[in-house]
Amino acid sequence: MASNNDLSVILPRVLIVSRRSVRKNKFVDFVGEYHLDLIVSYGAVPVIVPRVNGVHMLLDSFEPIHGVLLCEGEDIDPSLYEAESSGLSPEELEEIRRLHESDTAIDKEKDSIELRLAKLCLERNIPYLGICRGSQVLNVACGGTLYQDIGKELSRKLPENQRVVHMDYDNYDGHRHLVKVVENTPLQCWFKDSLEDGKMEILVNSYHHQGVKRLAQRFVPMAFAPDGLIEGFYDPDAYNPEEGKFIMGLQFHPERMRHPDTDEFDYPGCPSAYHEFVKAVIAYQKKLNSSTSVPKPLKLNQEMENKRRIIVRSFSLAKNLYTAGGEMATIKESELQAGAEFLESNTALSVQQENRLKQMGATVRNGGNYMQKLKLNEERERLARNVMGKMSVEQLSDLMSFYHMMGQICSEVLERKLHGIVSDINN
């Protein structure tokens, strides 16, 4: 049996971004207990990503990532989608801010963190479950848009009998409204025992004044409110929990659909989204572990091993020559030759590595070529820094994500080629 210290390696990790609030005049970060309880109960470990400035640039530190759950929070920055098409006047926007004061304070750092995670999941097929705001983040990350305010943009255009109250501050946890479940979707499967014949309807809770306006092309709706608002969607091409695939957004909170003063769910299907999500997370972890096993050290034949030792000795002598101030009289020039030739033919060393080797004396030959290459790299670095300095945070995040993906691909291809070389040598 594994010890407690091994559980962090064995159990899959689900990243959840915290929400920031003020308590005793200080910021505190928190995540709703129902999310954490359900994730743990189904066999995964919730890893809380704090909403702290700069964290969106440090997400690699949270690897390995086996799943991402994004939930409640403030409104997404309207500049991240087509907000100018809302047609809302400055007076209407001010009224919205007064009505929904706790939700309309834009948190750009949380936006950056969560959009970066959503795009990472889409690029690497990491299981993703978005609840409420998390569903909106997913839609925006894929090019969809949002209603800045459902009441101003949608409800007032409809007859009275089609309007839906999506936020009731006087009955926060008790408020429910109907949604119609779409056939042949995961939502129908989860709530099938609670759907009346011919109606395909359930009552859901509602805590939002924004919602999906234009659904991103890759997604399929799973439920609609009577006013036409999409209450749930998923990517059918990225949904197979048994194979580690799960990309989904729910506008309502199934984890909070419980009878008053009890933990009993309104419907047996309420926790299914979390159950299937964690199932996908576990399968994704197994798939990731099987494809990223620690590579075995290369086994060289005797001839290549002898050459390796000669090169290592050459660099060792060069280091001693540099650090101890030794004289060439005590070292044969031919012993330094192997290191110099290796360095001349090698193009995969970083500038820092080459600079260090030059200091050690290993590049005493070919010094002119080295200096030219160093100056060229310095100029390229200067130009790159200049260009990146003019880029936005979102552009830099996208660029970093792209090169992270390319680095992974490069590592995989390099590993296959190296193993191919070793196989040829052994044969």
The span from the CA of 178 to the CA of 175, in Å, is 11
DSSP states of 157-194: GS-GGG----B-GGGTTT--EEEEEPTTSHHHHHHGGG
Out of 56, 100, 121, 132, pick the active-site residue: 132
Does the active-site annotation cover 253? yes
What residues does each domain of the chain span? 10-291, 294-387, 391-427
The span from the CA of 237 to the CA of 43, in Å, is 25
List pLDDT tens digits, range 79-119. 888 765 667 777 777 777 777 766 667 788 889 999 999 99
Out of 253, 270, 276, 354, pick the active-site residue: 253
The span from the CA of 342 to the CA of 328, in Å, is 20
Higher-pLDDT residue of 43 and 291 is: 43
Q: Which range has the worst mean pLDDT, 196-205, 306-315, 352-361?
A: 352-361
Half-sphere exposure (Cβ direction) of 371: Cα atoms closer than 13 Å:
5
Does the active-site annotation cover 333? no
Predicted confidence at residue 204, as pLDDT, reads: 94
Out of 255, 276, 354, 394, pick the active-site residue: 255
Higher-pLDDT residue of 4 and 415 is: 415
Half-sphere exposure (Cβ direction) of 192: Cα atoms closer than 13 Å:
7
List pLDDT tens digits, range 30-80. 677 888 899 999 999 999 888 888 878 888 888 899 999 998 888 888 888
**207 secondary structure, DSSP code:** B
Which pLDDT band, with edges at 50, 70 and 90, does 2 fall under?
very low
Q: What region, left, alpha or beta, does residue 378 occupy, with left being phi > 0 and alpha being psi -120 to 50 degrees?
A: alpha
Does the active-site annotation cover 132? yes
The answer to whether the beta carbons of residues 222 and 98 sit under 8 Å apart is no
List pLDDT tens digits, range 398-420. 777 777 777 777 777 766 766 66
b/e string for 192-207 if b means 16 or more Cβ within 10 A?
A: eeebeeeebbbebbbb
The span from the CA of 348 to the CA of 201, in Å, is 61
Predicted confidence at residue 381, as pLDDT, reads: 79
- The closest alpha carbon to 127, from 235, 247, 243, 40, belongs to 247
Which pTM was predicted?
0.67
* Residue 320 phi, psi (nearest 5): -65, -40
Q: CA-based Rg of the chain, rounded to a whole angstrom?
A: 28
Task: Specify the CATH architecture of the domain 10-291.
Answer: 3-Layer(aba) Sandwich (3.40)
Q: What is the mean pLDDT of the chain?
A: 79
DSSP states of 262-330: S--BSSTTTTHHHHHHHHHHHHHHHHHHHHSPPPPPPPPPHHHHHHHHHHHHHHHHHHHHHHS---GGG
* Residue 289 phi, psi (nearest 5): -65, -35
